[in-house]
A and B are shown apart, each in its own frame.
Chain A
Amino acid sequence: MIDPERIEAALRRRSDVEPSPFFERRVMNEIRAEAPAPLAFPWRQLAAAVMAGAGAVTLGVRLFPADSFAAAAILVCAASLAAVERVVSLRA
């Protein structure tokens, strides 16, 4: 039976294979053709929008206790639209 440790050692061993000399140039040519650079996904803005939405719901319930559901729905829609607009304008 083959020693399992030898197999594991062989699996861990890295070869010294490197790509051809012009590899970097080829990749970078494609990257430059892809410009502009990818934008960071606006996690913070998204989180802020979600928090604003939650705040709006709370406020809506307080301001319009008689018809709190409708008020909350309107405020959530407004907050969501603002968030979407913000995300779209950031990525444009």
Chain B
Amino acid sequence: MTSDEEDVAAILGGDADRFERIVGRYKGPLMQLAMRFTGDRSTAEEMAHVAFVSCYRALGTWQRKSAFSTWLFSIALNVYRSHLRRAQPSIPLDEELPSQTSLEETISEQQEAAIVRRAVAFLPAKYRDPLVTFYFLDADLAETAAILRLPESTVKTRLRRGRHLLAQRLERQLTRGKR
């Protein structure tokens, strides 16, 4: 039995305090996942908070068909997506972004990742969600499709188009940076 399974069993047995261990283990990843959808730190934190509470409420429905982390991330993804349907993503102000930086210039890997993350946050949701799920969660095609409740063929197409759109947008940024 994994530590996640042990904790879930204890919580379902009535020990709600054991949920603190789950929060401790996953607060970082859930916060980082939220930052892929919104650049605003406090919004990301609020989203992660709601995701944990939703997870606690739904804990009894986890059927152990998938890893606990996969199940938790799929709950968080739904929370984040529904949050963003009501609000537009904001520009990540708390990440150190070089202004008008080109990807060809020498910039740190962290800055490069921040630029890409910002571009992803502004993609249409149908491309953003598969990209985030596939790459951030390191999920394979089948897992991504299961989490997003889409056919694998649709996920495959959206990943391809999403990557293309992302490259186009980054290219535009690159061109602007050169002017």
Contact = CB atoms under 8 A, between A and B. Distances in A.
B83 interface: no
Contact of A27 (B13, B32, B49, B171): B49
A20 to B, nearest CB: 6
A26 B14 contact: no
Main secondary structure on B side of the interface with A:
helix
A4 B58 CA distance: 38
B32 A15 contact: yes
Contacts of B23: 23-24, 27-28
Nearest to A39: B60
Contacts of A37: 11-16, 59
Contacts of B163: 4, 7-8
A34 interface: yes
Interface in A1-39: 1-2, 4, 6-8, 10-15, 17-20, 23-24, 26-28, 30-32, 34-39
Contacts of B166: 7
Contact of A38 (B29, B52, B58): B58
B132 to A, nearest CB: 8
Given A14-B136, A37-B11, A1 B171 contact: yes
Interface residues of B, number: 52
Given A1-B167, A11-B116, A24-B27, A34 B53 contact: yes
Interface in B4-59: 11-17, 19-20, 23-24, 27-29, 31-32, 35, 41, 44-45, 48-49, 52-53, 56-59
B20 A24 contact: yes
Contacts of A28: 17, 19-20, 23
Interface of A: 1-2, 4, 6-8, 10-15, 17-20, 23-24, 26-28, 30-32, 34-41, 43
**Top 7 A-B residue pairs of the complex, sorted by shortest distance between their CB atoms:** A11-B135, A10-B116, A10-B113, A13-B113, A38-B60, A40-B12, A40-B60
Given A11-B116, A13-B110, A15-B35, 12 more contacts: A8-B163, A13-B109, A14-B29, A15-B117, A17-B31, A18-B31, A19-B31, A27-B53, A28-B20, A31-B56, A36-B14, A38-B12
Interface of B: 11-17, 19-20, 23-24, 27-29, 31-32, 35, 41, 44-45, 48-49, 52-53, 56-61, 63, 95, 103, 109-110, 112-117, 120, 131, 135-136, 138, 163, 166-167, 170-171, 174
